[in-house]
Amino acid sequence: MRRVELLLTSLEYIEGHLRDDIKTEDVAAACFCSKSTLEKMFRCVNCISVHDYIVRRRMMQAARLLAGSPERTILDIALEYGYSTHESFARAFRQVWNCKPSEFRKMKYELYPRLRIPTENGGQDNMGNRHVDISELYDLFQERKDCYFVCCDIKEMIRINEISHKTGDLAIIEAMDRMSAAAGEGDVVFRIGGDEFCILTDSREEAYAENIAEAIRARNGETFSGGDGEVALSLHTTAVRLEQKRVCYDELYTGLHEAMREAILAGK
Prediction pTM value = 0.58
Distance CA 135, CA 100 (A): 19
Query: Angle at the Cα of 90 (from 84 to 91), degrees rounded to 5?
Result: 100
Which residues face 151 on adjacent strands?
Answer: 198, 238
Angle in degrees, 0-180, between the axes of helices 2-16 and 35-46, rounded to the nearest 10: 90
Distance CA 209, CA 104 (A): 36
- Percentage, residues of the chain above pLDDT 90: 25
Q: What is the mean predicted confidence (pLDDT) over 230-253?
A: 76
Name the most confidently modeled range: 7-11, 70-74, 139-143, 225-229. 70-74
- Which CATH class name applies to 2-106? mainly alpha
Q: Which fold has domain 116-265?
A: Alpha-Beta Plaits (3.30.70)
- The answer, yes or no, to whether residue 53 has pLDDT greater than 80, is yes
Distance CA 112, CA 215 (A): 28
Sheet arrangement for strand 235-240: 188-191, 196-200, 149-154, 235-240
Label the pairing between strands 149-154 and 188-191: unpaired
- Residue 61: the pLDDT is 85
Band (pLDDT 50/70/90 cuts) for residue 243 is low
Dihedral pair phi/psi, residue 82, rounded to 5°: 85, 15
For residues 141 and 92, which has the higher predicted lDDT (pLDDT)? 92
- Residue 94: the pLDDT is 87
Tell me if 236 sits within 8 A of 268, measured CB to CB. yes
- The answer, yes or no, to whether residue 164 has pLDDT greater than 70, is yes
Angle in degrees, 0-180, between the axes of helices 35-46 and 50-68, rounded to the nearest 10: 60
- The answer, yes or no, to whether residue 92 has pLDDT greater than 50, is yes
Domain ranges of the chain: 2-106, 116-265
- Residue 166: the pLDDT is 84
